[in-house]
Amino acid sequence: MSRVLRGIFLALAGLLLAVGFSVATTTTASAATDQIEKYSIEYEMGTDGVLQAKETIVWRFGSDSGRHGIDRYFVTREPYDDQQDAVYTVDVESVTSPDSGVATQYSENTHESDGGRGEQLRLRIGDPDETISSPTATYVITYSVKGAMRTFSGYDEFYWDATGSNWTAPMTDVSVRATVPGGAQELSCFAGPVQSDQPCSSKKVADGAAEFTQASLPAAQGLTIGVKIKSGLITDNAPHLEPDGSKLSAGEKAGLLALAGVGAVSLIGSPIVGTLWWRKNGRDQRYAGLAPGTVPLPGQQAPVVPSDPDLPIPVAFTPPQQSTASPERAAARRGPTRPWLARTTGWQW
């Protein structure tokens, strides 16, 4: 049960972290005036299914001083279906710059999300001990990717989120060129937020290569491309899948679902149960065959039944007896007072 509670805590922490990251990203983007002036990517898909990539990023820094460099995020794990995750192997080969005075040293670390089903590789470029003095800096990143292919009936496809959508700066002049075995057969291209179905500015096939452009992209939006390839030309043409990477086992997930089900049943069922109980037990009762408020004679058997509100309640009046006893002795015969009886019957003292 402790692991189940830990799973619930991780889910809530992930939600709070996502909300906090969203707020932080919005604040950073609005406070600074950074801009990606040019973003060009060159892809070459090998027959072994390994993608070779080269990105050139021209970054204009905003008014904030003391900037060390940039971060580039790569998705390395994401949900594929309810039971499996798609896993991508990203190997960074080099980071260079044609500009003088631009630090290109880098570090890598991995961040998990979605309870372990999501994973991103952060490439942090720059020198932590030096800041950039020029208004712009150009970074050239080369890397390889495994697992970027998809296969379907009659064709394969290189389908990839080219730019990613974690940038806090808007982009202008975005271009992608992709070469694939056998030449590009058919293209698809989408621009905007995650899962956007809006087409990019342009797409075409030139000399067998796929070319895509996007005039501009706001912060936190990206470009996704698709290139169809003839079947049989790529050996590793299928996505790399692993079981659901969340930290909860199947039994723990079932436990969470059971807890959720109990909560839902309690929320919905309690009013129903209460109503049924009230209908059975909440009404006034009387002895069958007798007027409300009367009791059977000694030895007489009478079942208890719900009282009919239309039956008249008999009222008996007995005149008080004259007594010569003192008030103290009369009180002793009546016994102790019981204010709780007045509260439960509604009498007023």
196: nearest Cα among 243, 161, 247: 161
Token readout for 160 is 């990839």
Higher pLDDT, 204 or 1: 204
Average pLDDT over residues 178-197: 97
Domain boundaries 32-247, corresponding CATH code: 2.60.40
pTM for the full model? 0.64
d(CA 193, CA 173): 17
Q: What is the 3-state secondary structure (H, E, C) of the chain?
A: CHHHHHHHHHHHHHHHHHHHHHHHHHHHHHHCCCEEEEEEEEEEECCCCEEEEEEEEEEECCCCCCCCEEEEEEEEEEECCCCEEEECEEEEEEEECCCCCCCCCEEEEEEEEHHHCEEEEEEEEECCCCCCCCCEEEEEEEEEEECCEEEECCEEEEEEECCCCCCCCCEEEEEEEEECCCCCCEEEEEEECCCCCCECCEEEEECCEEEEEEEEECCCCEEEEEEEEECCCCCCCCCCEEECCCCCCHHHHHHHHHHHHHHHHHHHHHHHHHHHHHHHHHCCEEECCCCCCCCCCCCCCCCEEECCCCCCCCCCCCCCCCCCCCHHHHHHHHCCCCHHHHHHHCCCC
Question: pLDDT for 205-245, tens place per residue?
Answer: 999 999 999 999 999 999 999 999 999 999 999 999 999 99
Token readout for 171 is 């982009």
- Within 13 Å of residue 110, how many CA atoms lie on the same side as its CB? 12
pLDDT at 201 over 80: yes
Average pLDDT over residues 14-41: 58
pLDDT at 310: 62
d(CA 57, CA 37): 8
Q: For the chain, what are the domain ranges?
A: 32-247
CB count, 10 Å around CB of 59? 23
Which range, of 99-108, 181-190, 281-290, averages the lowest pLDDT? 281-290
192: nearest Cα among 223, 216, 168: 223
Highest mean pLDDT (candidates 4-18, 147-161, 254-268, 306-320):
147-161
Higher pLDDT, 166 or 176: 176
Token readout for 141 is 């990143």
Highest mean pLDDT (candidates 189-203, 284-298, 334-348):
189-203
Token readout for 288 is 């069958």
Neighbour-count burial for 174-204, b at 16+ CB within 10 Å, e otherwise: bbbbbbbbeebbebbbbbbeeeeeeebeebe
Residues 6+ apart with CB under 8 A from 324: none
Longest dimension (CA), the chain: 126
pLDDT at 195 over 70: yes
pLDDT at 203 over 70: yes
* Radius of gyration for the alpha carbons in the chain, expressed in angstroms and rounded: 38
Question: pLDDT for 304-338, tens place per residue?
Answer: 767 666 666 555 444 444 444 444 433 333 333 32
Question: At residue 119, what is the residue type?
Answer: E
Residues 6+ apart with CB under 8 A from 41: 53, 54, 55, 56, 162, 163, 175, 176, 177
